Chains A and B, each alone.
Chain A
């Protein structure tokens, strides 16, 4: 039988803010275009929860077949998701999950596990410092799920794997390389010994690296990030950057679309559809393509 055409709406978190999201969007559109049974409605919430909720309303209004949502905030979107659920539209959450309270209303989650990512970064840090040292953390923008989860995963795991590594201070770098560079400059003034820096993503990590290099202290410090960026990958190749977490936006986007189609076609899908985000260091970087962002 001829497969019917599905109209799938997606509301993304904040496309302009970083390359990951942009690449994700491109990959999603490409995947949707490749599949002639899919008509995609691609929206961007611009980081604003309220706008995302309005977009969900608009999508319900348009009576799409399925909604994919990249939550700007895991808790705040729950009622809107519930509304879509009540309207009989299956909701697939992508990239970062919504709060537990909303699990009843979604068909599936597809994406990376940020808590695990944070934990893996802690393990990397541990490795890099041989289990002993003083470190600082530069976290993502306060109040955003990814930032919170990665920090939590890192902070919970660190004392488990190496109790002798001391996290001295955490300040937000707002996913912004320049801001992170500024924060690191102040850290460098403040602390005579810094053995490691954990940054919520490589973009910020490279900012911290910039600051340390300018102060001539980069050699003493191990940099660990997350979401491996091209600049992080290169710095790793040069041996300036210890490690990161490899996460491909293309995998992320394709997994989301596939999950949505599986749901629409009535296949059985797991509630939590994590795709793997492995550790990447100089030692194993050859196994990975250089990120395109």
Chain B
């Protein structure tokens, strides 16, 4: 048997197709806009991508575990509205605690329905998408919520602050991604998530508590959504009832761009970061180039498909799919 420890450069590249795609886009934008590659702009994009990115970290865990979570968009609306509204009523500290608690409860409902009751995750989370949206509206009566004292509240740290000179959202996003990457790649918990996503039956036969595990993946995605809500609420210092509308698909797009399979059992948190950043840089790059919004949409169409295509073409070693 040949020794495969000698990895060729080609093989190494094949594993990193998405990185190549990412690099190509960055270079492309840099060529077309001289403002693009400035540190200022790069920081801006990553900061903007942080909200979707933080959520995508959690959703990646759910997807690796073999399920979907489409409820994160309206959950983000809910959590942001809640924390912003409570901020002035009970103070930022309690508001954060209550918001995270409530968000986790929603995650637990998802987790119970999908993990324990074993219902189809797409429909459950679509149902929750609708229900949570309604819940948010009922809570506010449809009104916007605002933080009045924007200048002095320490709550500003999440969206507007800096940690060691780096914007807090960036620190939170990359820090969380790194932490979750370590959890998924190097801990028994991560291993079990991959196993349950890859083959739930075999996982149960291997002594894994499947219900509990799936349940916990939804808690994770709820938690990351709650954290995203902190960033969003603090960044905007206010919230509409529908701020998160449509985020679920953007988040999922980032996850899939990062090469995580919707079938479960495979995926990588750090690549999700790349996927999310690709989306962010497309938006920003096209805006800098001054394209009207519809042209941005067209380019997004092409780029999303190209990025994933490049990634899988590199993996399989040929450009076209072997489908007859």
Judging by beta carbons under 8 Å apart, are A214 and B160 in contact? yes
Residues of B with C-beta under 8 A to A210: 235-237
Judging by beta carbons under 8 Å apart, are B44 and A185 in contact? yes
Residues of B with C-beta under 8 A to A229: 144
Residues of B with C-beta under 8 A to A172: 293
Task: Name the residue among A23, A177, A178, A229 with the largest chain B CB count within 10 angstroms.
Answer: A178
Count of chain A to chain B residue pairs whose CB atoms are closer than 8 Å in the complex: 81
Task: Name the residue among B35, B44, B137 with the largest chain A CB count within 10 angstroms.
Answer: B44
* Alpha-carbon separation in the docked complex, A171 to B294 (Å): 10
Query: Among the listed stretches A10-18, A120-128, A277-285, which one makes contact with chain B, having 4 or more residues with CB under 8 Å of it?
Result: A10-18
Q: Which of A1-33 contact B (CB under 8 A)?
A: 15-19, 21-23, 25-26
* Alpha-carbon separation in the docked complex, A234 to B293 (Å): 31
Please, which residue of chain A has its CB at the minimum distance from the CB of B160? A214
Query: Among the listed stretches B62-70, B92-100, B172-180, B284-292, which one makes contact with chain A, having 4 or more residues with CB under 8 Å of it?
Result: B284-292
Task: Name the residue among B140, B232, B235, B288 with the largest chain A CB count within 10 angstroms.
Answer: B235
User: Which of A18, A177, A189, A234 touches B288 (beta carbons < 8 Å)?
Assistant: A189
CB distance from B300 to the nearest CB of A (A): 14
* Alpha-carbon separation in the docked complex, A203 to B160 (Å): 18
Judging by beta carbons under 8 Å apart, are A171 and B243 in contact? no
A162-184 interface bits toward B, Cβ cutoff 8 Å, 1 = contact, 0 = none: 00000001011001111001110
Q: Does A264 contact B (CB under 8 A)?
A: no
CB distance from B173 to the nearest CB of A (A): 15
Residues of B with C-beta under 8 A to A206: 238
* Alpha-carbon separation in the docked complex, A249 to B290 (Å): 35
B29-41 interface bits toward A, Cβ cutoff 8 Å, 1 = contact, 0 = none: 0000001001011
Range, interface on chain A:
35 or more
Task: Name the residue among A19, A25, A171 with the largest chain B CB count within 10 angstroms.
Answer: A19
User: Which of A22, A171, A175, A214 touches B143 (beta carbons < 8 Å)?
Assistant: A22
Please judge, given known A-B contacts A18-B144, A22-B141, whether A177 and B236 are in contact too, CB under 8 Å: yes
Judging by beta carbons under 8 Å apart, are A177 and B293 in contact? no
Q: Does B60 contact A (CB under 8 A)?
A: no
* Alpha-carbon separation in the docked complex, A105 to B157 (Å): 55
Residues of A with C-beta under 8 A to B38: 189
Judging by beta carbons under 8 Å apart, are B288 and A186 in contact? yes
Judging by beta carbons under 8 Å apart, are A231 and B146 in contact? yes
A119-138 interface bits toward B, Cβ cutoff 8 Å, 1 = contact, 0 = none: 00000000000000000000
CB distance from B121 to the nearest CB of A (A): 25
List residues of A whose CB falls within 8 A of some B CB: 15-19, 21-23, 25-26, 142, 169, 171-172, 175-178, 181-183, 185-186, 189-190, 203, 206-207, 210, 214, 229-231, 234, 293
17 other contacts beyond A176-B243, A214-B160, with CB at 8 A cut-off? A16-B133, A16-B136, A16-B241, A16-B242, A22-B143, A142-B293, A172-B293, A175-B240, A176-B240, A178-B236, A183-B287, A186-B284, A186-B287, A189-B41, A189-B44, A190-B287, A207-B236
